[in-house]
Amino acid sequence: MPITASSQQALSFKICFPSLSREGRSVDFPCDEAGRVDLDGLDERARWNYLFARAMLGREYGKPSVHAA
């Protein structure tokens, strides 16, 4: 889903994936209030990291949560 100018304000949230193997280590990405990430808006490395975190849910990363940025 593309991010439009009217939805830019919605990107004041972050989705956070807590690490299961290293306490205090987590990854987070800009998202809307529902936790949707604009993959086209991420650079290549961030996109790869986001997809990796999603693929490793339950193994390397715990259930993500959405927070105000």
The predicted pLDDT at position 10 comes to: 54
Report yes or no on whether pTM surpasses 0.85. no
Q: What is the pLDDT of residue 35?
A: 95
pLDDT 10s per residue in the chain (69 long)?
A: 455 544 555 569 999 999 998 887 899 999 999 999 999 999 999 999 999 999 999 999 999 999 998
Three-state secondary structure readout of 3-66:
CCHHHHHHHCEEEEEEECCCCCCEEEEEECCCCCCCHHHCCHHHHHHHHHHHHCECCCECCCEE
